[in-house]
C-alpha cells in the first residue's frame, strides 16, 4: 500500500489517479524493498538479516 497526497492537503483529481497509482508502483519496484515488505506483511515482523 502506498499513500500519496498533495503537500497542501488538497484532493488529487480523479483524472490523475492512474498517474498516482503508477507512481506508487514505481516507487515500490525501485526501492528494492519488496522482499522485506513481503516478509513483514506475511510474518508480521521486520526481516532480520
User: What are the pLDDT digits (tens) for 2-40?
Assistant: 788 889 999 999 999 999 999 988 888 888 888 888 898
**pTM of structure:** 0.56
**Residues whose CB falls within 8 Å of the CB of residue 35, separated by 6 or more in sequence, listed in order:** 47
Number of domains in the chain: 1
**Within a domain: 11:** no
pLDDT at 20: 92
Question: Residue 48 — φ and ψ, nearest 5°?
Answer: -100, 125
**Within a domain: 25:** yes
Domain span including residue 33: 17-43
**Within a domain: 39:** yes
CB contact at 8 A, 2 and 27: yes
**Within a domain: 10:** no
Amino acid at each position: 500500500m502506498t499513500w500519496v497526497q498533495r503537500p497542501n492537503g488538497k484532493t488529487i483529481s480523479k483524472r490523475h489517479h492512474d498517474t498516482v497509482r503508477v507512481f506508487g508502483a514505481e516507487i515500490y519496484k525501485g526501492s528494492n524493498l519488496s522482499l522485506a515488505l513481503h516478509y513483514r506483511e506475511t510474518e508480521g515482523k521486520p526481516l532480520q538479516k
